[in-house]
Chain A
Amino acid sequence: MVMENITLKINNQQYKVRTEPDKPLLRVLRELGFKGVKEGCGTGECGACSIIFDKKIVCSCLIPVKSAEGHDIITIEGINNNGKLHPIQEAFIEAGAVQCGFCSPGFILSAYVLLEKNPNPTDQELKEAVSGNLCRCTGYTKIVEAIRIAAEKMQKAKKVGDN
């Protein structure tokens, strides 16, 4: 087993790790304390480990840590504003879209990427954006509602900001 020095950019900060180059990024992130990144299936099929990688949503269980060097990683821990919850996080709570919460970080990041690109998505676009995230608790209805509420919150905030 050989260890390598690898530098990662996570939530706009540099982290230096010494680890096996083929370790899944998911494991490394959790070892660094980013426990919001969850290991669900480990095979890219549940989305619980979703992170934003160079502005795109990906499964961190499918990325060897060495390959993540030089790229931009955002985890769920990175979207709040100095402790103030992101509107999407607020909306998930308001809508009752969180039961056990295990899938929530993944859904929230998928919604984050969607709403950054497409602030007013159709129902179809919304569902497709989270089609890589599985929930075993909620039946999805409240999750979709939460994302709708978040979209409205963000549109309102933008209007206020523009004025």
Chain B
Amino acid sequence: MVYIIKVSDIESALSELSTLSHNNKRAKIMAGATDIFLLIKNKIIDADVLVDISDITELKSIKIENDMIKLGSLVTFSEILESDIIKKYAPALYKAAENMGSPQIRNRATIGGNVCHGSPSADGAIALIALEAKAIIKSPKSQKTIDINDIFLYSKQNRLKHDEILTEFIFPACYTNTYTEFKKIGKRNALSIAVVSAAVKVGVENGIIKKIVIAVGAVAPQPLRLKDLEIGIIGKKLTDDVINKISLRAKYFISPITDIRASADYRREITGIILKDCLNSIKKNYSWSFRDKNGNGEYNTQNQ
């Protein structure tokens, strides 16, 4: 049996975690509980105490400040879908939320929990990697900002210490000229854990790729940024040829396994295809129109 301690602010949460750690009690943080409660029920993980932080309202905000989106770690996937800020300026995350779980799950599951659980197929995590998110981690004595990729260890472990809480994600808002896409292949339309997923962010100016960030899900022991695949793409034009090359090279940078959902071979092939789909979608959006942040510009119907 596990004890449950409810806290209503960050200081109390940190204080509880500290005290429990001090007293050699194994404590875990619980937010929406959709992942952790099952792990506890099925005795996959052990804990003495669950610290229920779901009532901490200060971690539930979504703001945009100085062109940076600040996303509280306790924002639920449903709340992400109610956010105009996310819909307009972080479309990949919005799309990931649309494709995650079910209404019942989305009403409880938090973006922070999704990242901290760190499943290789975590939809929110994949989108946030592509959005180049950083995470703010608070502990009783300090606060630090780390790259989201540094949170994950393999096999659903994370690097957070016993007395640390992830409070917020920060990432650049995607204005025009920056395109994002998220795609997921699963075995059904809802409540579907990704067989393969991908999120891509591309910054394009005058047809030239200024920035590219690629994240893939369910093809490695943790949510994965494919930095090696991004190399050499900056400065190239967003053409079918470049997209094909990225798609063909993807399989060399992933390490999929065979499990109950799909074979490693299938995942290896599909990763390239799903990336191609993402990039083609971005290329199509780019071709329809481009305008700079001030709203000036013209419609460009040419692809090259």
Within 8 A of A (CB), among B99-141: 101-105, 107-108
Given that A22-B50, A43-B38, A66-B52 are known contacts, is A132 also in contact with B1, CB under 8 Å in the complex?
A: no
Given that A21-B4, A22-B50, A67-B54 are known contacts, is A131 also in contact with B191, CB under 8 Å in the complex?
A: yes
Chain A residues closer than 8 Å to B23, beta-carbon distance:
none
Decide if A108 is an interface residue (CB 8 Å cutoff). Answer: no
Distance between Cα atoms of A104 and B121 in the complex (Å): 31
Q: Do the beta carbons of B103 and A128 come within 8 Å of each other? A: yes
Distance between Cα atoms of A86 and B2 in the complex (Å): 39
The proximity string for A residues 102-134 relative to B, scoring 1 for CB distances below 8 Å and 0 otherwise, is 000000001001000000000000001101100
Decide if B6 is an interface residue (CB 8 Å cutoff). Answer: yes
Which of the segments B29-37, B194-202, B251-259 contacts the partner chain?
B29-37
Q: Do the beta carbons of B6 and A64 come within 8 Å of each other? A: no
Choose one: B3, B34, B55, B190; the contact of A21 (CB below 8 Å): B3
Chain A residues closer than 8 Å to B54, beta-carbon distance:
67
Distance between Cα atoms of A44 and B190 in the complex (Å): 12
Shortest Cβ distance from residue B271 to the other chain A in the assembled complex, whole angstroms: 26
Distance between Cα atoms of A66 and B6 in the complex (Å): 8
Q: Besides the contacts A22-B1, A22-B50, A67-B52, what 4 more A-B pairs have beta carbons closer than 8 Å?
A: A22-B2, A59-B108, A63-B108, A69-B6
Decide if B211 is an interface residue (CB 8 Å cutoff). Answer: no
Shortest Cβ distance from residue A136 to the other chain B in the assembled complex, whole angstroms: 14
Q: Do the beta carbons of B2 and A50 come within 8 Å of each other? A: no
Given that A22-B40, A57-B103, A67-B54 are known contacts, is A62 also in contact with B34, CB under 8 Å in the complex?
A: yes
Which residue of the partner chain A has the closest CB to B2? A22
Distance between Cα atoms of A21 and B78 in the complex (Å): 26
Chain A residues closer than 8 Å to B103, beta-carbon distance:
57, 110, 113, 128-129, 131-132
Distance between Cα atoms of A21 and B6 in the complex (Å): 11
Decide if A2 is an interface residue (CB 8 Å cutoff). Answer: yes
Given that A44-B105, A57-B104, A57-B107 are known contacts, is A64 also in contact with B190, CB under 8 Å in the complex?
A: no
Given that A64-B50, A67-B30 are known contacts, is A131 also in contact with B189, CB under 8 Å in the complex?
A: yes
Distance between Cα atoms of A70 and B22 in the complex (Å): 29
Chain A residues closer than 8 Å to B4, beta-carbon distance:
21-22, 64, 66-67
Choose one: B1, B38, B107, B190; the contact of A53 (CB below 8 Å): B107
| Most B Cβ at <10 Å: residue of A45, A53, A64 | A64
Chain A residues closer than 8 Å to B40, beta-carbon distance:
22
